[in-house]
Amino acid sequence: MSGALRIARRELRAYLVSPATYAVSVAFLGLTGITFFIVTDGSREASLRFWFPNLGFVLLVSVPIVTSRLIADEWRTRHLDVLLSRPISAAGLVVGKWLAAVALVLGLLAPTLVYAGFLAAWGRPDWPPTVASYVGAVLTIALFCAVGTMSSALTPTAVVAGLGSFALLVALQLVTSIDVLRPLSFQPHLDDFARGVPGLADLVYFVSGTAVALVVAGGWQRLRRRVLERGRALVAPGLALAAAVAVNLVPIPAQARWDLTAAGRFTLSEASREVLQHLGASATVTAFEPNGSPEANDAQVLLDQFTRADSRISRRIVDFSTSRGEALRLGVRDDGEVAVEVSGRREVISPLTELTLTSALQRLARGRAQQVCALAGHGERELDDTDPGGYDAARQLIEQNAISTARLDLTVADRIPPECTVLAMIDPHSPLLPREVQIIEDWMAHNGRMLVERDPNGPNLDALTTPWGLRLLPGIVFDPSRGLAGDPTSVLVNTFPTESPVAKDVSGALFVSAGGVTTAASEDTGLSVAKVAQSSESSYLHLDPSTTRYEPAKGDRGGPVVLAGAADRSMVQPGGETRVPSGGPSIARTRLLVVANAEWASNEFLGELGNRRLFANGVNWLAGEEDIVAVGGENPDLRRLTLTPSRRTLMGAVSMGGLPGVALVAGVLVWWRRRRR
């Protein structure tokens, strides 16, 4: 290793005074800038996980150019013998040349930190995966430069060296499509770093590959100079190559990886493992993602965790565009959706995360069909209404949680169908008929589940709610301290006073023109009544809509005001709800969820704050599946990037024009300085 640093300094100085180096810099920064702008503008995500896999292609093109002359030119000009006649070993020569190439390419990579600056300025990046991505990029550069150095040491000219290293790197990329040889490809290992879940196998790959290439290059130099006999000179490179191939083909446990994502996206929790242990049936998971896309790679990593945890789970990743027939059979409409099948039952979920998949497996394994029946006939909001005040978005969210929906008009029906497991009364505008009230009361008395949402000044529903300890109050809630954009009736709710499953993982919600709910006492000892959501201390329930002043003398109630309440009556009896069929006693439940507002879950406001999660939790709780994670329809690991037109223009100008332009100016100055000498 003697003389390695001396060679590295000499080679790096030669790079920095060569105009060709700056030409490569312009091309490198131009390609990286274009790919960064395209993937970031398309995904609008504050992450570089879509860009780093593309960096592998840019490095594959540029590194062979940088390393092609390292040793081949020294050999061609007969300068190699002069170098090795000094106190410089063959290993020192190879390592020194490699270090210089690595330093140069790292210098080319450094300006791309500006991309991370854009993400920090306009979004909330998940920094550990971003740092891991750059670590993966450094390891990839070290491997590519080692391969380039080896090719330059083995070939007589720079052109042949460049073509040889390019061909070898392309081969290492293409073997990813061959399952047996996939561990020998750099692409999946770089992808693991890019998604923030590097493993021991990835470190072993880059370290062993870099070491083998350098050992082969050093051994070839010793063979050229006839320092050792031919057989002895080939022993070390041969053993190193065999060891590297062997160690990369040996399976490494999936647990030997580090999930650096903030949401722990690629690590199964103990809760998921417990669900899989009690699954009791085989399952098939079919994810639809474009072939070779980062999303397909993400899906593969996550699904591998499930298949390793339970061998009865089989997984497939298919492209929607080439598998339309299979998509039609499974009820999938586009890429990004996942079909989950258990014991002949099927559910389509989106997005694919640990929580959504575990929840779907648990629902399907139970085999309990659920249906929400929305009452009609009194001006209620319709589940198929796509207007801003309609509930079409809520219907889609219900169905994403494997619960079907139906419309039920009790003004003409004489009973509630047995397939209805949850009733939903959403903002009625006229009182129910006595016959309808009796039908609902009888149904609730026999373990019924019901959601009641009513805007202020709606019809009196006391006959339905007061037997269960809940009562809707007249008036509108004003909350000056928590009003949205200065509107005291658009209340930002962040107080959830009990540990109700309905408010699980909900940090805030938006209620527009909401009323109040009282949680009255009940003589029913089996009844449990809970406050789900309430306004702040400074709020009040106002009865006179013509003023905004708090007037307790006129009946106004001071805050906090309960906006939503839940009632649960549980009884042990021979029949009813049971988690595991046993033939023994079970739990019979009656549940009622009352919300003094209907606007909060409409198409216009369902996407605000945590409204989606709150609504999905409520439906799951009513269905008796509160221990199953409700699907909120959003990816918890997704961090949006806010790109206005001006920001988009700035990002494109800097990434595609500014950084390559700086490299071009530096190259012109170096060329001009050399010309004047």
Q: What are phi and psi of 15, to 5 degrees?
A: -60, -45
- The whole-number pLDDT of residue 103 equals 94
**What tens digit of pLDDT does each residue of 68-79 get?**
888 877 766 655
What homologous superfamily is domain 270-355 in, according to CATH?
Glutaredoxin (3.40.30.10)
SS3 163: helix
DSSP character at residue 651: H
DSSP character at residue 45: B
pLDDT-derived band of residue 357, with 50, 70 and 90 as boundaries?
A: confident
**What tens digit of pLDDT does each residue of 400-425 get?**
776 889 999 988 888 899 889 899 99
- Total-model pTM: 0.60
Higher pLDDT, residue 222 or 465: 465
- The whole-number pLDDT of residue 34 equals 94
- The whole-number pLDDT of residue 117 equals 92
**What tens digit of pLDDT does each residue of 165-210 get?**
999 999 988 887 777 777 788 888 888 888 888 888 888 899 989 9
Residue 578 has pLDDT above 60, yes or no: no
For helices 158-174 and 186-194, give the axis angle rounded to 10 degrees.
Answer: 70
**What tens digit of pLDDT does each residue of 611-645 get?**
888 998 898 888 876 555 444 545 555 677 878 88
Which amino acid would we find at residue 461? L
CATH code of the domain made up of 369-622? 3.40.50.880
CB within 8 Å of 615: residues ≥ 6 apart: 394, 397, 601, 606
**How many C-beta atoms surround the C-beta of residue 214 within 10 A?**
24
- The whole-number pLDDT of residue 249 equals 62
Q: For residues 509 and 51, give the distance between their C-alpha atoms in angstroms, rounded to a whole number.
A: 34
Minimum mean pLDDT range among 265-279, 434-448, 559-573: 265-279
Least Cα distance to 105 among 72, 76, 165, 65 occurs for 65
Q: For residues 102 and 108, give the distance between their C-alpha atoms in angstroms, rounded to a whole number.
A: 10
398: tokens are: 């219900």
pLDDT-derived band of residue 581, with 50, 70 and 90 as boundaries?
A: very low
How buried is 666 (Cβ within 10 angstroms: 0-12 exposed, 13-18 middle, 19+ buried)? middle
In this structure, are residues 299 and 352 in contact, taking their beta carbons and an 8 Å threshold? yes
Strand partners, 371: 404
pLDDT-derived band of residue 583, with 50, 70 and 90 as boundaries?
A: very low
- The whole-number pLDDT of residue 283 equals 92
In this structure, are residues 74 and 194 in contact, taking their beta carbons and an 8 Å threshold? no
State the sign of the Cα–Cα–Cα–Cα dihedral 597, 598, 601, 602: negative
Mean model confidence pLDDT for the chain: 82
Residue 584 has pLDDT above 70, yes or no: no
Q: What is the average pLDDT across 517-539?
A: 79
pLDDT-derived band of residue 299, with 50, 70 and 90 as boundaries?
A: confident
Q: Where are the domains of the chain?
A: 4-259+645-676, 270-355, 369-622
Which amino acid would we find at residue 630? A
CB within 8 Å of 630: residues ≥ 6 apart: 359, 401, 504, 613, 616, 617, 619, 620
CB within 8 Å of 551: residues ≥ 6 apart: 542, 543, 544
Least Cα distance to 127 among 52, 189, 49, 54 occurs for 49
Q: For residues 528 and 521, give the distance between their C-alpha atoms in angstroms, rounded to a whole number.
A: 10
